[in-house]
Amino acid sequence: MKKNSGILLILFCMTAVLLFAPLIQQNLKPFTFKKLSGYLEPAPKPSFSYEAYKTGKYQHLAEGFLKENFGFHDPLIRIYNQCTYDLFKTTSNKDVAIEKDGWLYHTESIRHYFGTMGSISGISNQQVHDNLANQALCLYKTNAILQEYGIHLLTFTLPTKSFVYPEHLRKHPIGDTTFNAATFLEKQLALYGVPHINMTPWFQQMQDTCPISLFYSKDSHWASGAVFAMDSVLRYMERLSGQQLTQLQIGTPYPVYKLTRHEADLEDLLNLARPLKHEPLYEYPIHYLSNKYTQRPTVWFLGTSFYWRITRRINFDALFSSRDFLYYTSIYYTNREQDYQPGYHIDLLHELLTHDFVVLFKDGPQLYHQGALFPGKFLINLCISEERQKEKINFVADSIIQAWDPQTYADSIKCYSQAEFLLQQNPEMFEELRGDSIPTCRNPRIEQILVEKKIRADRTWRFLLTAKANNDSLDVQKTFEKEAYNVLNNKELLRNHTFFTTYDYFDLLVKEALDDNCWHSDLCITKSEQTRNVINAIIEQAIDTVEKRIQQHAYDNDTLMMMACAMDKIVKGFEKEPNLVALREKAVKKQISLDKMFRDDVVWIFNTTNYDRRLHDDVLTQAFANYRTERKMRNQQQAMESIMQKHQDLNMPLRIILNRDIKWIQDHKQQ
Amino acid sequence: MVFSSNVFLLYFMPAFFLVYFLMPKKTRNYVLLLASLIFYAWGAPEFIIQLVVSLIANFFIVRWMCKTEKPVAKKWLCALSIIISMGLLFFYKYGNFTMQNLNALLRLTGHAPLQWTRILLPIGISFFSFQSVTYTLDTYRGVNPPLRKLSDYMLYITMFPQLIAGPIVRYTDVADQIRERESTMADRLQGFYRFVVGLCKKILIADVIGLCVDKMLGPAALDPSQVGDIMTRIATLDTGSAWLVALAYTFQIYFDFAGYSDMAIGLGRIMGFKFPENFDNPYTSRSITEFWRRWHKTLGAFIMNYLYIPLGGNRKGKARTYLNLWICFLLSGLWHGASWNFVIWGALHGLFICLDKLFLGKVMKRIGTVPSVILTFLTVNIIWVFFRIEDIGLAWTFVTRLFAFDFSGFALDGNAHFYSILVLAVLFSFITLTPFGRKAQTAVYSTDYTDKQHVFVWIIAALAFVFCVAALNATSFSPFIYFRF
């Protein structure tokens, strides 16, 4: 044997490199790798203190932190996972089960199927039974109260993949399959007459006849099944409200060749080094059928990520004028997936009362857990004032502190959250909510929220207050609340003190249309192809939409736009020579200026032609000023040529160009 | 700090070897001593001062002992040194156990129990106490001269590769190596290979099997509140699952302990130390006596040299020999843990060794290799139950389930990974019964590679090391689908 040969030295040096590589990667990060999927509570970074070191806490934290943050952590985890998957078809992820034919299931879904949920949730079937019975009673009361305000509550239990596709499951330990939380809840809600759909049995039936898979093999959510589910929800909503809603026309399935990664959440969780093979995927084409009687209600969805599988297949803009989504207690999405805020801060009562529909959904395994107690929360917020709620929470928290082991509940915040949880779990702890009858007490804030809702429903009022908030740099929501307060207390309304021009109004309409349109990618594609500028195309599309709506009289007569249009007509009528002569005579008789006479007559005609709203003096003054500016511009050939040039260059409607120039002139005059 | 942790593998080990090999040879012992103290202080910060003080005291007592001419004084100083070492072991390891039993006795006799604050067991105390004793006795017997430098003595006791879980290195085995040792490039690489072999045994085999064992039997240190649940589970366990769990534990403990010893031997070899082997295919033994010649050999040697022989060994008649053997194994059981289940485990081994001497050994020889290996293995397998399950009631219930012949179901929730590794563990444990297996093992543990073989082995070792680090972290990496509320 050669000793200390060159090769051995090289190998020794390579060993050193091998040992130091993670340290170098951790500190200098010369390589970047794809991040691992899934959510983990990140290990806290340890901070050294002698006390922490002495007790071993520092060492424990350091090992935990290193475990997640050493160099090459992510690729090494992927390599190991890939090896164990290829060799043994196993995963270290406790949330994912690799079953027959490469089908992946959420572990809880399997436990739900085999009746062993209690072994992981730590709650017995009897406890789940009692808890669900309680929730059903809360939903019954909530539904009755919401109906008083014309709001519809709809609940549904999501289909569980293991129940729909049990043929791909391996053998698992069997527990108590006599109790099924979803079936029990369905029966309870039917007993109380609360609108509810248990989708599992329906999906089980559909699975036999449907030509394509309702769930993807590598995802925990429904796939094309989402389309049928939404269709049934829509029909149910129609039945509840008596309104005609948009119809979904579901076509014949077409193959999808490119895998959409977000539809393989279970595969993502395996964190493998290379993607798995997928079965051929199919999707349904959807057409939206609507007419002038079709309503687009506002909806508030509360539930799980199954929601995203619907919105990725169905254009909600075609169905709802507004829809918000509370992803349980974590995130609140306003209309779009991109607009979100922490869900803990939302005003539950406000959200409940400002939508036409409240749609609550959970999946089967979730029914075994006691989190996200919305039924209790709803009922308490609808019936109990905030002050009383706080008082009760304090009372219960104090009882916990006294009754429980002080060491366990040393943290007072924990006590208060526990008190809140107990009250939401059992709202009957409030004397007012006891019994099976519908509570008669109401949260006093309801009245104000309903007035606010009315204000928001009135486009003109809404725009006026929005403009007021923008001009005065106020919080829009608070401005609405203040206006509602003014209405309830017969105080001077903010809208009467808002300076607002026709042109501002047009801009707001465009902005509103922009919000509506910019997510209609198909609407914008043609335009963007023409202009090669997506943003301009979207704006242009919005302007076109508003102009078309004006032509189709889509805006109600009480809007400022229609007022402005009516005023234009009247003024133009006076400009004709015979009318001007008559007007001059009248002015002489009344001994006022022609201008004043002109203005008075316009107001008289406007106010007597059945327009609901009388013109505010400020608005009228501004409208006349704008009109005069426009007339001057139209009389100047050079100005008009410049405007026509802009119209051609920018490829924008003439009205917009005119409005912008008028506004610019007005602003500069004021300055 | 344990070898199979990120802190050791990714920080301590690279940093230590970098400094160690960059320093001049004369200072390497100091580097190793400092690293060993840091290594120990990381895991047992509260005990490091006591360890150092006891070592200093022992060093000077032994030096004094060697200088003194009077045999009586020598004897007393030797005894004092042993009392210090064993006193610490007794206080920390058996203090709680003794007081617990004493108080139980007092309660039985109607007396008030004594006040006692539970003390924590310092990591590795069983090993370094024994090493300290070997130093004292070897120098007392004149086998080796005492070490001149305190730092060398402290290094012998606290050397981090063998500090926590052995092998129990006798002073006589490493006395020369502490003073002078040579580490060639081949030694360093072979040390690395050996370390990786140990790491694989621990992480890829023992830990995987252990997951399933823990799932069925609960954690090794059972909380009294958990006993009820585990008892319910064990009482209804079917025979098939019970045997599989017992088998799984038998292999888990072997690969865990043997893996750790391999890592220690490997780390020592990188620095030029040649630590004694601790395991020699123990499950291929044809009797319990042979099993103890192959299992934890350094402990066996220690008991033989420092307990069995001083007790009289086999020189005082048959009855005394059996008694001595039985005492040795009883104490060996107690050395493994301060609990009655370990006493029973040791007592059972002692009993079988006595039976071997009486008649069983001859019977085993007569029935042939394979049956005797199987019978010995099954005996060891059943006795391991008392080692794993601390609660004697639980352990006994488990043993009854092994012979309940209840095949009504199969409760063991093992996956393909577990079963595959279990099969591999069986294969690796018994392969040396075949000529091919013996050749393969010789090749793996060979110290005489050619350059080409080195390249080949290095690639495998490097890949295995990377895979072990991945496994160490991936097995507990279980992200949630969504945030838990």
CB contacts, 8 Å: A73 with chain B: 473
* Nearest in space to B60 (alpha carbons), one of B148, B168, B179: B148
pLDDT digits (tens, 9 = 90+) for B444-479: 777 778 888 889 989 999 999 999 999 988 877 655
Say if residue B143 is in the same domain as residue B223. no
Say if residue B67 is in the same domain as residue B111. yes
In-domain check, residue B337: no
Say if residue B195 is in the same domain as residue B160. no
In-domain check, residue B447: yes
Q: A92 and B475: CB-CB below 8 Å?
A: yes
B68-87: average pLDDT: 87
CA-based nearest distance B480→chain A, Å: 5
Q: Which of B143, B162, B181 is the last residue of a domain?
A: B181
Q: Which of B151, B181, B211 is the last residue of a domain?
A: B181
Say if residue B78 is in the same domain as residue B61. yes
Q: Does residue B378 register a pLDDT over 90?
A: yes
Confidence of residue A500 (pLDDT cuts 50, 70, 90): low
Owner of token pair 């409760």: B411
Say if residue B225 is in the same domain as residue B251. yes
Return the pLDDT at B483: 42
Q: What is the DSSP string of A155-216?
A: EEEEPPHHHH-GGG---------S--HHHHHHHHHHHHT--EEEHHHHHHHHHHH-SS-SB-
Q: Supply the DSSP symbol for A276.
A: P
Say if residue B134 is in the same domain as residue B177. yes
Candidates A12, A33, A68, A83, partner chain B, best to mutate (most B CBs within 10 A): A12
CA-based nearest distance B112→chain A, Å: 28
Return the pLDDT at A147: 92
Q: B14 and A23: CB-CB below 8 Å?
A: yes
Which one of B10, B43, B478 has the shortest CB-CB distance to A22? B10
Return the pLDDT at B63: 87
Q: What is the DSSP string of B79-114?
A: HHHHHHHHHHHIIIIIHHHHHHHHHHHHHHTTPPPP
Candidates B1, B3, B4, B10, partner chain A, best to mutate (most A CBs within 10 A): B10
Are A93 and A38 spatial neighbours (Cβ–Cβ below 8 Å)?
yes
Maximum mean pLDDT: which of A18-32, A315-329, A542-556: A18-32
**In this predicted model, which residue has the larger pLDDT, A159 or B226?**
A159
Return the pLDDT at B484: 36
CB contacts, 8 Å: A330 with chain B: 483, 485
CB contacts, 8 Å: A79 with chain B: 466-467, 470
CB contacts, 8 Å: A12 with chain B: 185, 188-189
Q: What's CA B339's distance to the chain center, in Å? A: 17
Say if residue B422 is in the same domain as residue B387. yes
Which one of A18, A271, A304 has the shortest CB-CB distance to B465? A18
Owner of token pair 């309801």: A446
Please tell me the distance from the alpha carbon of residue A300 to that of residue A323, in angstroms, as a whole number: 6
Percentage with pLDDT > 90 across chain A: 15
Please provide the average confidence, as pLDDT, over all residues in chain A: 80
Say if residue B37 is in the same domain as residue B136. yes
Q: B451 and A87: CB-CB below 8 Å?
A: no
Say if residue B118 is in the same domain as residue B203. no
Beta bridge partners of A353: none
Q: Does residue A474 register a pLDDT over 60?
A: yes
Say if residue B270 is in the same domain as residue B417. yes
Establish whether this prediction's ipTM goes over 0.90.
no
Please tell me the distance from the alpha carbon of residue B270 to that of residue A11, in angstroms, as a whole number: 13
pLDDT digits (tens, 9 = 90+) for B332-357: 888 888 888 888 999 999 999 888 88
CA-based nearest distance B484→chain A, Å: 9
CA-based nearest distance B372→chain A, Å: 34
A632-660: average pLDDT: 76
Return the pLDDT at A155: 92
Q: Does residue A556 register a pLDDT over 50?
A: no
C-alpha dihedral over B9, B14, B15, B16, to 10 degrees?
90
CB contacts, 8 Å: B481 with chain A: 38-39, 95-96, 106, 220, 265-266, 269
A86-93: average pLDDT: 88
- Domain with B148, as residue range(s), is 6-181
Q: Which of B181, B201, B228 is the last residue of a domain?
A: B181
pLDDT digits (tens, 9 = 90+) for B95-116: 888 888 888 888 888 887 787 7
Confidence of residue A559 (pLDDT cuts 50, 70, 90): very low
Q: Does residue A558 register a pLDDT over 50?
A: no
CB pairs under 8 A between A and B: 158
Are B420 and A87 spatial neighbours (Cβ–Cβ below 8 Å)?
yes
CB contacts, 8 Å: B237 with chain A: none
| Known active-site residue B336 | yes
Lowest mean pLDDT among A571-585, B14-28, B400-414: A571-585
Lowest mean pLDDT among A230-234, A516-520, B125-129, B279-283: A516-520
Return the pLDDT at A243: 87
Q: B45 and A53: CB-CB below 8 Å?
A: yes
A508-534: average pLDDT: 56
Q: A22 and B469: CB-CB below 8 Å?
A: yes
**In this predicted model, which residue has the larger pLDDT, A413 or A154?**
A154
Confidence of residue A382 (pLDDT cuts 50, 70, 90): very high
Q: Which residues of A442-462 are buried (b: 16+ CB within 10 A; e: fewer)?
A: bbebbebbbbbbebbebbbbb
Lowest mean pLDDT among A9-23, B329-343, B419-433: B329-343
Return the pLDDT at A609: 60
pLDDT digits (tens, 9 = 90+) for A271-301: 898 888 877 778 888 888 877 677 888 899 9
A204-210: average pLDDT: 84
**In this predicted model, which residue has the larger pLDDT, B125 or A300?**
A300
Cα A475–A476–A481 angle (5° rounding)? Answer: 95
In chain B, the residue whose alpha carbon lies closest to the alpha carbon of A90 is B417
* Nearest in space to B305 (alpha carbons), one of B171, B178, B179, B176: B171
Percentage with pLDDT > 90 across chain B: 22
Catalytically annotated residue among B111, B296, B336, B417: B336
Could you give phi then psi for residue A435, rounded to 5 degrees? 90, 175
CB contacts, 8 Å: A265 with chain B: 481
Return the pLDDT at B357: 86
A132-155: average pLDDT: 92
Say if residue B280 is in the same domain as residue B400. yes
Q: Report the number of distinct structural domains present in chain B.
A: 2
Please tell me the distance from the alpha carbon of residue A140 to that of residue B380, in angstroms, as a whole number: 64
Q: B413 and A173: CB-CB below 8 Å?
A: yes
pLDDT digits (tens, 9 = 90+) for B230-240: 787 888 888 88
Please tell me the distance from the alpha carbon of residue A35 to that of residue B297, in angstroms, as a whole number: 47
Please tell me the distance from the alpha carbon of residue B441 to that of residue B443, in angstroms, as a whole number: 5
Say if residue B125 is in the same domain as residue B255. no
